[in-house]
Amino acid sequence: MDDQTVFTLPLRIYVEDTDAGGIVFYANYLKYFERARTEFIRASGYEWRFDLDHNISFVVHSLDIKYLKSAKLDDMVSVSVRVNKLAKTYIDFHQEVLNQQGETLVKANIKVACVHLDTAKPRTLPSDLSQKISESLGE
C-alpha cells in the first residue's frame, strides 16, 4: 500500500474462503479484488452494475498475481485499490491484500475493459465514470 492507494476495503476470511491446506484458496483473492474495485467505483458515486439498458459491461482483460504469504481462517485483511492508468476503454488497477500488520500478502495488476454487453467489443468508458475516477485521483 502506498500514497497512490485511493481505496481500501477491510474484509474477514471465512470458512468458505479456505481450502484443505488451511489457507485461502488461490482463486478467492480474485473475488476480494473484485469486491474492492466494486466498492471503490461505488464510493466514486457510480453503480458498477451490469447496465443492460445502456449495453455496458466491464470484463477483466488480463491480470498477473504474486502470492507472497497466505491469509488464514478468521484473519482480517485489507484490499487496496490503486488506479495505475485510466484509459479511454480500460482501467489498469494495482491491488493488494494486506494483513493487519500492513504486510502485503498478495499483489496484482488487473486490466478491466469496458465493453458492449451484446457484442463484447471494447467501448469508451461512461464519461461520468471516467470523471468520477479522475476526481478520486485528484486530477
Smaller CB distance to a second copy: residue 25 or 137? 25
- The reply to whether 19 belongs to the active site is yes
**Which entry of 17, 19, 74, 118 is annotated as an active-site residue?**
19
Smaller CB distance to a second copy: residue 1 or 120? 120
Which residue type sits at 7? F
Residues 11-40, one symbol each (x = binds a second copy by CB under 8 A, - = not), give -x-xxx-xxxxxx-xxxx-xx--xx--xx-
Q: Which residue stretch of 8-16, 79-87, 97-105, 127-135 sits at the interface with a second copy (rule: CB under 8 A)?
A: 8-16
Torsion angle, CA of 10/11/12/16, rounded to 10 degrees? Answer: -170
Q: What is the DSSP string of 107-129?
A: EEEEEEEEEETTT--B-PPPHHH
Residue ranges in the chain assigned as alpha helix (H): 28-43, 127-136
- DSSP code of 88? S
Residues that bind a second copy (CB under 8 A): 12, 14-16, 18-23, 25-28, 30-31, 34-35, 38-39, 42, 47-50, 57, 59-67, 69-70, 72-74, 117, 120
